[in-house]
Amino acid sequence: DLAVPASVDKLLSDFAQRFHQIKTPRKLLWKKNLGTVKLELQFEDRSMQFTVVPVQAAIIMRFQEKPSWTSKALATEIGIPVDSLNRRIGFWTSKGVLTESVGPDADDHIFTIVDSMSDVNKNSIVNESCEAFQMNEDEGESSVASVEEQLKKEMTVYEKFIIGMLTNFGNMTLDKIHNTLKMFCAEPSYDKSLQQLQSFLSGLVSDEKLEMRDGLYLLKK
């Protein structure tokens, strides 16, 4: 449900349309909240580069339209809950890109872009925001680790199938492993995404059970 900026949405739409023309009848369905975004932010006295998740990119790009937003207005514009916005926007305040101040409504803070470092308001609550962000980051890392552990546990049942395939075929691409598992794994049925499979195979490579050469997976010798 993430509402990306119109300029980005048009690029995605144009790409999907071109893909459909070339790959008919296949179509792309964008999951706009997934992936990473590389950004270069240019200010009066500095430029900064970041790699962030899409919601963080959507947040900061709204400040091209106007220099200040209230948390409620910005959350509505992006299409996410206010509490989620407050967690995500902490990244930008911690980097000194935005300042946070209390508005007329104590629950509706005001965020302002910092065009010049000399413009930073010393009365802002940046330090508090940084501390809150750090706490949320710790919780987020714990949550991500938990999800990764759960995925690894679920994927382990397919490990013997993967080892068997590579024993028979010698080497296989990610797509071929994915499609073969979908075709032949009936019990338990294989319902993982290509990205989840790639993450699991990377773990097997790290555990030195597999090797990857030129885009092909093979058993570690």
CATH number at residue 11: 3.30.230.130
Kindly state whether residue 138 falls inside one of the protein's structural domains.
Answer: no
Q: Within this chain, do residues 103 and 52 fall inside the same structural domain, yes or no? A: yes
Tokens of 75: 């959350």
User: Would you give the distance in Å from CA 88 to the centre of its chain?
Assistant: 12
Q: What is the CATH number of the domain that holds 153?
A: 1.10.10.10
DSSP code, position 164: H
Same domain, 110 and 155: no
Choose between 148 and 178: higher pLDDT: 178
Instruction: Quote the domain boundaries for residue 55.
Output: 6-115
Same domain assignment for residues 10 and 103: yes
4-43 pLDDT, tens digit per residue, is 888 888 999 999 999 999 988 888 888 888 888 898 998 8
User: Is 173 contained in some domain?
Assistant: yes
Last-in-domain residue among 75, 98, 115: 115
98 SS3 class: strand
Q: Which pLDDT score, from 0 to 100, does residue 189 have?
A: 77
Q: Please classify residue 207 by burial: count the beta carbons closer than 10 Å to its beta carbon, then call 0-12 exposed, 13-18 middle and 19+ buried.
A: exposed
pTM: 0.53
- DSSP annotation of 62: G
Q: Are residues 147 and 103 in the same domain?
A: no
Please check whether residues 159 and 101 belong to one and the same domain: no
Same domain? For 103 and 152 the reply is: no
Identify whether 123 is part of a domain: no
Q: Is the same domain home to 16 and 52?
A: yes
Element (H, E) at 219: strand 216-219
In a domain, 160, yes or no: yes
**Count of structural domains within the chain:** 2
Q: Give domain status of residue 104, yes or no.
A: yes
What would the mean pLDDT of 59-73 be, rounded to a whole number? Answer: 93
